[in-house]
Amino acid sequence: MQVQSETKPYDSINVTPMLDLAYVLLVIFIIMTTASVQGLSINLPKPSNKPSLEKKDVKVIQVLPDGSLHLNGAGVTADELEAQLRAAKAKDPEVPVVLKGDARVPYERVVAVLDLTGRIGIGSVGLVTAKIGN
């Protein structure tokens, strides 16, 4: 009796075990990434249900592209701005301030105005932004 030792070339490779391994690795990757992502714990302020009948005089500070300052549309210097904000703070301790800084203004000008409001003690300063594309 003779044993035939013919080697037949494979016509195709069985990829099923390789696909099984790929799917298992994909499932493990998905489970591990979703398990490791955790949210931040933030305490957001609660809205008040009572309407505010009191109208506050909002101070709008604009920093124009040339670096000049405007308070409610009128041009002012940094010293005049400080004096007017101090007067408004004395009149209303919770005076709201809105700061509009042009995108072309050096950032230090906007920070200088924020520092000024901080030195005066104004706690509610809003920064105005615009939608991209407008």
Q: What is the mean pLDDT of residues 112-121?
A: 87
DSSP 65-87: TTS-EEETTEEE-HHHHHHHHHH
Closest C-alpha to 113, from 105, 33, 21:
105
Predicted pLDDT at 93: 82
Domain segments of the chain as ranges: 59-127
At 54-77, the pLDDT tens digits run: 667 788 888 888 878 888 888 888
Give pTM, 2 decimals: 0.55
| Sheet containing strand 74-76, strands side by side | 74-76, 69-71, 59-63, 97-101, 125-127
Predicted pLDDT at 28: 92
Predicted pLDDT at 120: 87
CATH 3.30.420.270 fits 59-127, yes or no: yes
Residue 6: is its pLDDT beyond 70? no
Predicted pLDDT at 20: 94
Q: Which residues, at least 6 apart from 104, have a Cβ–Cβ distance to it below 8 Å?
A: 65
Across 88-114, b (16+ Cβ under 10 Å) vs e yields bbeeeeebbbebbbeeebeeebbeebb
Residue 131: is its pLDDT beyond 60? no
Predicted pLDDT at 31: 86
Predicted pLDDT at 26: 95
Residue 40: is its pLDDT beyond 80? no
Report which secondary-structure segment, H or E, holds 62: strand 59-63
